[in-house]
Amino acid sequence: MIKEAIANGGIYRYHLQQYWVKLLANPGLIRTYTELVTTKESLVIDPIHAYKLESLGLITFDGDRVLPRCQLYRTYFAKQLATIV
């Protein structure tokens, strides 16, 4: 199901593409989010980046650490980020 959902023509494409455009506008956030989606563990990140990513709804907190809000986001953004990194 996630494989279909993350396809560029998938049912969540507009939702995911809106976030993608916002990330592309901020290289610092891209670097931070790349770290988050390419590791299985929660991470401690810059507080400003945490604030911005949480405001977008892309992360969730685990104490002082953060992780992607859901597996859909982790999978989609890891795929997208691999095309530019």
pLDDT score recorded for residue 11 = 85
In three-state secondary structure terms, 66 is strand
User: For all residues of the chain together, what is the average pLDDT?
Assistant: 91
pLDDT score recorded for residue 36 = 96
Please report, for the chain, the start and end positions of each structural domain, with discontinuous segments joined by +: 2-82
Q: What is the DSSP string of 33-62?
A: HHHHHT-SS-B---HHHHHHHHHHT-EEEE
User: pLDDT 10s digit of each residue in the chain, 85 long?
Assistant: 666 666 677 788 899 999 999 999 999 999 999 999 999 999 999 999 999 999 999 999 999 999 999 999 999 999 999 888 5
Residue 71: alpha-carbon gap to chain centroid:
10
- Fold category of 2-82 in CATH: Arc Repressor Mutant, subunit A (1.10.10)
